[in-house]
Chain A
Amino acid sequence: METHRKSYVRPVRATWWTARKEYILYMIREATAVLALWVGVELMAMCLAAVLSADPQAWILSLLSHPVTLTLNILALLAVAYHTYTWYKIFPKGLRIFTSRDPANTHLIPAPLLTASLYFVTIVASVIILCALTFS
Chain B
Amino acid sequence: MSDSIKIFSVLRYRPETDDAPHFEDFEVHWLPEHSILDGLNYIRDNLAPDLSYRSSCRMAICGSCAMVINNVPRLACKTFIRDYENSAKITIEPLENFPIERDLVTDISDMIDKLESVHPYIVPRKDIPADAPSLQTPQQLARYQQFSHCIQCGCCYAACPQYKLNKDFIGPAALTMLYRCNHDTRDTNQEERTAIMSQTKGLWRCTSVGYCTDVCPKLVDPAAAIQLGKEESAQDYVLRLFKKKK
Residues of A with Cβ closer than 8 Å to B? 4-10, 12, 16-17, 19-20, 22-23, 26, 30, 90, 93-94, 96, 98, 101-106, 108
Bound together, the chains give a CA A12 to CA B223 distance in angstroms of 23
A56 CB → nearest B CB, Å: 40
Interface contact tally, CB-CB below 8 A: 78
CB-nearest residue of chain A to B226: A93
B172 CB → nearest A CB, Å: 12
21 pairs from A and B in contact (CB 8 Å cutoff):
A7-B15, A7-B107, A8-B15, A8-B21, A9-B100, A10-B21, A12-B165, A16-B161, A22-B211, A23-B209, A90-B223, A90-B227, A93-B221, A93-B223, A93-B224, A93-B227, A94-B227, A94-B231, A103-B137, A103-B138, A104-B137
CB-based contact B164/A12 at 8 Å? yes
A107 CB → nearest B CB, Å: 9
Contacts A12-B165, A20-B71, A105-B138 known; 17 new A-B pairs at CB < 8 A: A4-B15, A7-B101, A8-B21, A9-B100, A10-B96, A16-B161, A22-B210, A90-B208, A90-B223, A93-B210, A93-B213, A93-B223, A93-B228, A98-B139, A98-B142, A103-B139, A106-B141
Bound together, the chains give a CA A47 to CA B21 distance in angstroms of 58
CB-nearest residue of chain B to A25: B209
Q: 4 closest A-B pairs (Cβ-Cβ)?
A: A103-B137, A94-B227, A4-B16, A7-B99
A58 CB → nearest B CB, Å: 43
For the complex, would chain A's binding face be called helix, strand, loop or mixed by DSSP majority? loop
Bound together, the chains give a CA A93 to CA B231 distance in angstroms of 11
Q: In the complex, how many residues of chain B place their beta carbon closer than 8 angstroms to a beta carbon of chain A?
A: 35
